Amino acid sequence: MLELIKLSQVFTGISIRETKRGVARFMRLSDLSDLKAGRIPALATGEAPGVARAQKIEEGDLIVGARGSATEICVAPNVVLGAYVSLDLYLVRPDRAKVNSQYLAAVLRLPSTQARFAGGKQGSGLARLNKDALEKTGVPLPPMHVQRLIAGLSISLDEEDKLLKRLTDLNSTLGRETIARAIRAADIRQDSLRSSQ
């Protein structure tokens, strides 16, 4: 098992100076929540950061939520490539010669890892995951072909989860529409009975 810092670079997010005419795009914690829910995030725009630690999101990078009860994690989709992460996020850039991005995301989402993250959070209110706690997270490191197999399994389970959530949402919408139609039908019937009297 190796510490995360030996398998990747971890960058702290930056503060955003939002402007409507800004050319730089920024990903916030709410955007990570949108991605996790299957929605396309509405990234903020603003002035390009002038600090050396500012890194644009690249293919294969992981975005890690620094705040919240659960530590949300995703592998950067195309829609956020080239954006910067805000202060409430960490950018994790895996060394692809050592670790598969999807495999690493699966390890960081494990309940045992999430419990360690919860123990590493500091502050009152919306506690923040300490960068040091993230960097010292232990990552089991099987051979790359095994990592790819585990990554594929993780992706399949994530897709199944998204489909089940979508099905639940559609079923809920259908149920509400059915009730609305029943109420309208009952109301029309009641109106017919009143007018016939």
DSSP 73-120: EEEPPGGGTTPEEBTTEEEEEE-TTT--HHHHHHHHHSHHHHHHHHHT
Range of the domain at 191: 142-197
> pLDDT per position in the chain (197 positions), as tens?
999 999 999 999 998 888 878 889 999 999 998 988 878 999 999 888 888 889 999 999 999 999 888 899 999 999 999 999 999 999 999 999 999 999 999 999 999 999 999 887 777 667 889 999 999 999 999 999 999 999 999 989 988 988 888 899 899 999 999 999 989 888 887 777 777 76
Describe the crossing of helices 144-196 and 101-109 by its angle, rounded to 10 degrees: 60
pTM value is 0.82
Is there a single domain that holds both residue 25 and residue 74? yes
Is there a single domain that holds both residue 8 and residue 42? yes
Is there a single domain that holds both residue 23 and residue 93? yes
Is there a single domain that holds both residue 133 and residue 185? no
Is there a single domain that holds both residue 156 and residue 105? no
